Each structure stands twice: as structure tokens, then as C-alpha cells.
Amino acid sequence: MSVIRFGTDGWRARMGRDFSFRNVRIFARAYGRLMRRRHPGRDLKIIVNFDTRFLSSQFAQETARLFSLMGIETMLPNRDAPLPAVALAVVQKNCLGAVNFTASFNKPIFNGIKVFNQAGAPAMPSETALIEDEIDRIAPHFTFKPRYANNALIGSVDVRTPYISYIEEVIDFSKIRSAGMSIVVDNLFGASRDYLDYLLSHNGIEIHSIHNFPYASFGGVVPSCDRDNLRDLAQTVRDRGADIGLATDIDGDRFGIVDTQGRFICANKIMPPLIEYLISVRKMDGGIVKSISTTDTINRVADYYLRKVHVTPVGFKYLADMMRRRRSFIGVESTNGASLNRTITIKDGILFNLLVLEMLAHHKLDLTRLFDHFYQKFPPLYNHEASMPKTSERASKLEELVQGRGDGPSGYPVRDVVKIDGVKYLFDDGWLLLRESGTHDVIRLYSEASTRKKAREMVRLGRMLLGQ
């Protein structure tokens, strides 16, 4: 059996072990053959992108070489590029899809591959399963003879200029500029440098930028927009007395916010007021898509404005697919990913950082006062999250709960059970979700309640259900 298996967020593996040039070549051959069979007689055009990780650009060049030898036209950005810019180029250039070399928020010792379809959205499991099947067919007898690339089929593509123009059409930079906010931008050594910071400074908005150069080891942190990895940003905001700190992860598809005191603001907290702003001020039409682990405060906003909410499993490929099918204007996941349904349906950390700035500028409020005003209309809910190593015993217990064979929660009357992804128990005052991670060998526990204490209690209850 092949070692290449696509999870909820692509394939990733340890560098030099499973993630090797041989396996990259096997993937490229399999993907190219599959595209040839699915689109007979058609000129094939694919974008191959890469992040700032060690060897990512070389993996991309090797993939382009194999594609060229299969008669597939391949376009490479002239440097690492954020995923939203690549997705937009896929649509504008009428490509059949894209391949991106990145391991997202994993440690530097890992690398990976994400596959995108011709809509610029993450490939669905049905699509990646076809690639896996093709890999299984060719891997046992795979051989490769070094050959020069067909350079006539390998070109470059400017993904930055069209993306900058796209963002400038969406965001009201004059409104942000007039607010006079002091802003710190953290690029986390990733592909968004010269994108988010450029968009602000080019539009006359003064910023201070950190970690704005490529660094394959990420300066000792993981390039992810969470509290632990944004400590430098938080400290810089406090030291400079800035109003807000903005971050993007290595791919540019997730956002991170810290307030003037350096406190991390998670997606479950910032997205509900932002959605209200987009509905009430920006007059965006349509429903809302959210993953099953995302806050129910979004449902409260949706109910108030008579909007439908569609719930998906965790993994943005599911949100992107639902956004297209339900014609919803926004998709939100709890891990700081969100997308507007405009041309592309991929999560975009650059865009949503800027939308948060625009919202604050419109209301003439800082984050603390924004939440105070918002909670007067929509009382706060509190989230708690934990992970447990996945053992065979815990996986079996989770499966029993999903199948309805195990003993459910005690102490909290269960109002309903949802099984979109794992098992989610709905109580009168909150919910508890238990699910296997699609990217790590752990079981995730999520909860939400009207108090922090209750949210923590619900996670403890989940631990008991799975066995300490």
C-alpha cells in the first residue's frame, strides 16, 4: 500500500522519510495520468506552487518537469505565493487545477501536497481518492529515468498582480486609512510577505512588519495563527502601543488577530461581529456555511438577520463545496479560516485580516469596545478545546458513540445528537463535539457553553467518555 494518503488538508509526511523526491515523482505521475484520462484530447494546464519550507521550490520544479514530459503545460509562480492568489490564478487562467507544496501549520521537518480543482477550491475526498488509487497502481513498479524537462511546456505566472487588484476591489482602504490605526503585521516567514503588508502600505496605511522574509525553520515557531505562535506579534503590539496585530500563516489562508493588549482573538470570537458587519453594512446576500466545530454565535446572528446556516464536517474542502452548492456568501471554520464566495471559495487570511480592519474603522471602535457593543445584542458564548492521543481503545469508544452503542454523557440532558463529523451532543446550554483529527493522530474535543466553567466541564466529560 502506498504511503501517500490525503487527509482533510492534503498529504503531508516527514521530510526524507515518506516525503521524498521518489514519492513526489510517483504523485506527479499519478496525478498527470489521471488528468489525462479525465480530460482526453484537451490541452492540460496546471499551476504548481510552493511555500517557504526547505526544498518546497525544488519539489515544485521536479513536479513541473514530470508534468512537462507528460505533455502537460505547467505554470510556476516566480516565488512562493499564498494559496488565495494561486486559487484566483487557477480560475482566471482556466487551469484544470493546482498543486501546492506545503505542510501548512506543521513543523519544519514536514512537507506536504495540497491539490486544488479547476474552481480554485480544495479537492474533495472523491477527487483525492482517485489520485490515491492511481498511486497504488503505479507505485509498486514505478521507475524513473532522468530526462531534461520539456521547457516549452513550463512557464511562469504572475499570481500577485491580479490578486492585489482583486483585494483592492473588495476592501475599502480609504476607510481604513481614515481611522489612523497603528498596525503590526506578522508574516510568520511565509508566502504572504509583500502581500498583506504591501496592500496596507501601498494604500497609505502605516504599518510595522515582522517576520517578513523566508526562513525555512520559521524562527523556532510553527507558522500557524494561534496564541502560542503569535507571541512575538503580541509583544511587538504591546511594545509599540499599537491598536492591533495581524498575522497570516505560511500559506496565507488563515488569519490571526491580537488586540492592543496582545491578547489573541480567535475566529469563534471575531467572526460573528464580522458577519454582522458584512450583512448589515456591506449588505452581502446569501446564507452562511460553517464547520461543525464553529461557534453557535454565528447561528444567533444568522437568526437575527433571517439567514440560513449550513453545517459541514471539519475541513475547508467541505465548506467550499457547500458554499458553491448553497450559494452562501461566506464560509467559516473555527481554526481561523474563512472565505467569501467571490470568484474563488478558498479561505483567505489576507482578505479577512483586512475585513476586520475595515469593520473596526467603520464602527470607529477598538476590539474591546467592538465586543462590548456586540455582546449587548448577542450574549457571549465560550469555547474550550483539547486533544487526546488516539489509541485503539479511544478510537473504538468514539466509534461506539458515533454508532450510538456506547453510554452517552451523564449530568447534562442531551437535547439532540449530530453525526456530521464524529459525534456532537447538543445540550440546553451548549454542546460537546468528539471527532478524530484529519491531520494528526489525535481525537479532538470541542465544547461551547454560556460560561467558561461549563465549557471546561463539558470537555472533561468528553475525556471521561473516551477513557482517561
- Distance in angstroms (rounded) separating the CA atoms of residues 408 and 47: 48
What pLDDT sits at residue 407? Answer: 72
**How many angstroms from the chain centroid is the CA of residue 458?**
26
Q: Are 358 and 168 in contact (CB under 8 A)?
A: no
Q: Report all structural domains of the chain as residue ranges with CATH numbers, in order of start.
A: 11-158 (3.40.120.10), 171-377 (3.40.120.10), 382-466 (3.30.310.50)
CA distance 153 to 43: 11
Torsion angle, alpha carbons of 163, 187, 253, 86, to 10: 40
Mean pLDDT by 10 residues, the chain (468 residues): 66 83 95 93 93 95 96 96 97 96 88 94 92 94 90 97 98 98 96 96 96 90 90 97 97 96 97 98 97 98 98 95 94 96 94 98 97 97 96 94 83 90 95 90 96 96 90
| Phi, psi of 460, rounded to the nearest 5 degrees | -60, -35
Q: Which residue has the cell 510595522?
A: 208
Give the torsion sign (CA, 210, 273, 166, 319): positive
**Pairwise CA distance, residues 209 & 353, whole Å:** 14
pLDDT at 405: 81
| Residues 6+ positions from 79 with CB-CB distance below 8 Å | none
Is residue 278 within 8 Å of residue 355, measured between CB atoms? yes
pLDDT recorded at residue 3:
59
Strand partners, 382: 449
The pLDDT, as a whole number, for residue 1 is 39
Cα-Cα-Cα-Cα torsion 82, 85, 91, 93, nearest 10 degrees, comes to -100
The CA distance from 183 to 178, in Å, is: 13
- CB neighbourhood size of 1 (10 A): 9
* Cell numbers representing residue 121 in the block: 477550491
